[in-house]
Structure 1
Amino acid sequence: MKRPIWRLLWNSRREAVFDIALVAALEVLGRLLLHLFPEQIPPQSYDWIGGRDVSAVLSDLTCLLLLARRRYPLLLMSFFSVLTLAQVLLVSYGPGPLLPLNNYADPWIPGELPCVVYSVVVYPATRLKRLVGWNLIALVIFLAARLWHDPPVELLASAFLLTAFPAVLGLYVGARRRLEGALRDRAERAEREQHLLAEQARADERARLAAEMHDVVTHRVSLMVLQAGALGVTAKDEQTREAAEQLRASGCEALAELRDLVGVLRRAPEEEPEYEDPETTSVPDLADLISRSEAVGVPVELVEEGDYARVSPAVGRTAHRVVQEALTNVYKHAPGSQVRVDAVYGERVRLTVRNTASPHQPSADLAGSGSGTGLLGLRQRVDLVGGTLRAGAMADGGFQVDVILPAYVPTAEAADE
């Protein structure tokens, strides 16, 4: 994008408007002063430069130069110092003034010099430039007060008011700005520190939850798996052995999910654990979930794109839970509806579960079962692996769950069980 022209002189539109208004005000003020206090300089004093009109044009040009006072303060100060020196020499020893004067007793300086002195003090520069600027300020003070001979008190007062006072004012404004900048930096630093402390507190809480889940939940589920395995070995009838085997398999899946969840909780945000090959880790297959759903009377159309085998285990289990919860909600709240699951695997995993409007009234007992926080729990689980979840009703009366997950989420290595 092309840089605006006004950016060559100003950092913001506010600065541009202020400086343009300042130049316009100084132009009006200069003409007003010439009208209220007519010149007491002989007309022929300006003949050497072409008359008073040429002198007025030069005065207007020096006023326009103030538009560059923020970007080039030292350059303007150098120019105005030379102009002041030339004015003093021309009035004292030459043919006459270069710029308009009301009285020989006034300071022989350009009317815009106070603004230039203020600018060279306020606006930031290198140490060398500041040193040069102060030397030029001392020069114009010396020239304006004409300290090489005994100046009258009125001249001293007006000279110091137009040169030394802007410098002192610039020092005050510059110090105030530096103080405000330091306070702002301190406030931003304190805010960053509070954010880091909050992040550390969250990381500590995650680690505490991970330790508690590992020590309590994993231990209990492991005992359940062992007992189910023992029951399957000692049971005499086939139905009991099948039930025990299903219980043991479900417990193993729960342990795997707990291991992934504990790993995610233990992982600090800045950590980069070693890559875990998904091909060596059991990842739930959506096709098996769909078949089980169809077995309980919920037919589902599954459309998959991409390579599911390269999905991180933690992400795969999260995707499995998302589809499982969505299908459970369809079974509870939209019996008989048509369901479609779209899964796209790539750099990101996108799952979309849609169901049409239900042709039947859902069972009150079945719809009222559960805690009512299924979607909230899914959202928290999706957030835990860095994904996003959107769910809501569609225009045709159906419902849609749309989830985007990262394809790979590293987990810290779980402790030995």
Structure 2
Amino acid sequence: MTSRDEAPWHLRHWAVVDAAIAAFFVLLDTVLTLAGTTWWPERPGTLAWTMLGLQALACASLAARRCAPIAVVVVLGAFTLAITLLIHPFGALTPAHENNLWAPFATVLAAYGPLFYQQNRRAAFVALAVFTLIVMRPWQPSWTVLTIGLLRTAVGPLLALYFEARRKLVLALTERAERAERERHLLAERARAEERARLAGEMHDVVTHRVSLMALQAGALRMTATDEATRQAAEDLRQAGCQALDELRDLVGILRTEPEGDGSPSVAGLPTLVAESAGAGVDAELLEEGDPGLASPVVGRTAYRIVREALTNAHKHAPGAKVEVRVHYEESQVRIAVHNTPPTARPSRELVRTGSGLGIVNLRQRVEVLRGTLRAGSAPDGGFCVEATLPAYVPTAESAV
């Protein structure tokens, strides 16, 4: 839709345009009257000059043709009736040409207004009918006057009806085009949803099955192995498989637009997560700004996973470091920053080996699916920083409920 500042100049300054049109018709009717094309007498007196001034005022009423179209018709009709009565039967004015039309030329534009700007069509038709009778003056029958008078008052309403019908047709066509565009968009969304569902099904049926078998076989190997090294390797393999299944389940859920009933933690669980890390020996602090409710469900879960992964890495690789978790909620985005200071002790090799090394990689893929960004790297103070920016709202089936 076009805003007021983008509309054409004549629509933004319609009062100026109407005033200019009124001034033009004042000048036009004054010149035509003095030229003897209407009621002007051969020897004008005081009455004639007075009526010429009143005619100018009546024509000037065209400036109000948008806000009071019937009033303009009444003013011009009253002036035309007054001129007609002064000529006959009172005989106060004697026109130079008896067969001229007494009405000003401004009546053409005045007759256009009631049907185009007036919402009450019945009042508009009544006003135009009376106006037409005054202009045609059928009590003094003359084919020339009747014909020209009818044309004077009929051209405007016919144009008004035409433009009104054209405007409604354009609106109907525009609405039809917008509806077709919406339907096309919905069909495209449906096709994308079906394709996502198909991909999710294939990932679930093929990849999940294979990884599940790997995790089960690793668990079986851990139970039957005779030496500790083999059991530890099998346990690491099983944990990696379980983590892969967890991340894969999340990706399948995203492809299926987050099915209902997903109980994964969201941003509401961040205080508990930080408190648990503090209980495990990590000096962690949580700083939240804004309204957590601005984050849609899938964004909230992703933010939770980012913080959890960052805290886990700090616990493994930066023992004794202080961790600061900042989450800023905005209307359009959610910004997460997890920063840890340099470690004060050497990390445990056994604890470091328990990780798969793919946590940040998996998070980055998940963030990119949501059209966000994630950066992880060394901080200027020698510590480590994980920063992510996510859209606040990602439409899913859950957020539509």
Shorter-chain TM-score range: 0.5 to 0.7
Structure-to-structure mapping, 1:42-53, within 5 angstroms: 42-44=43-45, 46-47=46-47, 52=49
Structure-to-structure mapping, 1:2-401, within 5 angstroms: 12-37=11-36, 39-40=40-41, 42-44=43-45, 46-47=46-47, 52=49, 54-94=50-90, 96=92, 103-123=97-117, 125=119, 129-153=120-144, 155-267=145-257, 273=260, 276=263, 278=265, 304-306=286-288, 315-317=300-302, 320=305, 342-344=325-327, 349-352=334-337, 377=365, 380-383=368-371, 388-389=372-373, 401=387
Note the C-alpha offset of 1:167.
Answer: 2.1
Note the C-alpha offset of 1:191.
Answer: 1.2
Structure 2 stretches lacking a partner, 5+ long:
278-282, 314-321, 341-357
Measure the CA separation in 1 of the matches of 2:157 and 2:23: 23
Measure the CA separation in 2 of the matches of 1:241 and 1:215: 29
- In structure 1, what residue type is equivalent to 2:373? L
Q: Is the 8 A contact 1:261 1:314 kept in 2?
A: no
Q: Secondary structure at the match of 1:343?
A: strand
Note the C-alpha offset of 1:124.
Answer: 5.8
Q: Secondary structure at the match of 1:404?
A: strand
- In structure 2, what residue type is equivalent to 1:141? T
Per-residue CA deviation, residues 226-254 of structure 1 (Å, 9 max, x unaligned), is 11111111112222222222222222222
| Cα root mean square deviation, aligned | 4.8
Per-residue CA deviation, residues 85-136 of structure 1 (Å, 9 max, x unaligned), is 3443343234647xx98754322224322112112222362xxx21221222
In the other structure, the counterpart of 1:404 is 390
Per-residue CA deviation, residues 201-232 of structure 1 (Å, 9 max, x unaligned), is 22222222222222222222211211111111
Q: Is the 8 A contact 1:34 1:102 kept in 2?
A: no
Per-residue CA deviation, residues 352-392 of structure 1 (Å, 9 max, x unaligned), is 3789xxxxxxxxxxxxxx9xx99984553233xxxx43779
Q: Is the 8 A contact 1:305 1:344 kept in 2?
A: yes
Measure the CA separation in 2 of the matches of 1:124 and 1:62: 20
Q: Secondary structure at the match of 1:93?
A: coil
Q: Secondary structure at the match of 2:88?
A: helix
Measure the CA separation in 2 of the matches of 1:266 and 1:189: 27
In structure 2, the CA distance between the partners of 1:227 and 1:399, relative to structure 1 (3 Å rule), is closer
- In structure 1, what residue type is equivalent to 2:235? E
- In structure 1, what residue type is equivalent to 2:61? L
Note the C-alpha offset of 1:288.
Answer: 11
TM-score, normalised by the number of residues in structure 1: 0.65
Measure the CA separation in 2 of the matches of 1:411 and 1:171: 48
Quote the sequence identity (%): 35
In structure 2, the CA distance between the partners of 1:191 and 1:94, relative to structure 1 (3 Å rule), is farther
Measure the CA separation in 2 of the matches of 1:95 and 1:390: 94
In structure 2, the CA distance between the partners of 1:171 and 1:349, relative to structure 1 (3 Å rule), is closer
Measure the CA separation in 1 of the matches of 2:77 and 2:376: 72
In the other structure, the counterpart of 1:367 is none
Q: Secondary structure at the match of 1:70?
A: coil
Note the C-alpha offset of 1:151.
Answer: 1.0
- In structure 2, what residue type is equivalent to 1:111? F
Note the C-alpha offset of 1:163.
Answer: 1.3
Q: Is the 8 A contact 1:285 1:320 kept in 2?
A: no
Measure the CA separation in 1 of the matches of 2:233 and 2:95: 109
Measure the CA separation in 2 of the matches of 1:89 and 1:390: 87
In the other structure, the counterpart of 2:354 is none
Q: How many residues align?
A: 347
In structure 2, the CA distance between the partners of 1:23 and 1:79, relative to structure 1 (3 Å rule), is closer
In structure 2, the CA distance between the partners of 1:79 and 1:23, relative to structure 1 (3 Å rule), is closer
Per-residue CA deviation, residues 322-355 of structure 1 (Å, 9 max, x unaligned), is 9979x99xxxxxxxxxx99753166875223789
Note the C-alpha offset of 1:408.
Answer: 10
Note the C-alpha offset of 1:162.
Answer: 1.6
- In structure 2, what residue type is equivalent to 1:180? V
In the other structure, the counterpart of 1:7 is none
Q: Is the 8 A contact 1:346 1:407 kept in 2?
A: no
- In structure 1, what residue type is equivalent to 2:287? E
Q: Is the 8 A contact 2:264 2:301 kept in 1?
A: no
Structure 1 stretches lacking a partner, 5+ long:
5-9, 290-300, 329-338, 356-369, 413-417
In structure 2, the CA distance between the partners of 1:343 and 1:381, relative to structure 1 (3 Å rule), is farther
In structure 2, the CA distance between the partners of 1:136 and 1:256, relative to structure 1 (3 Å rule), is same
- In structure 1, what residue type is equivalent to 2:286? E
Q: Secondary structure at the match of 2:111?
A: helix
- In structure 1, what residue type is equivalent to 2:64? A
Q: Secondary structure at the match of 1:27?
A: helix
Q: Secondary structure at the match of 1:245?
A: helix
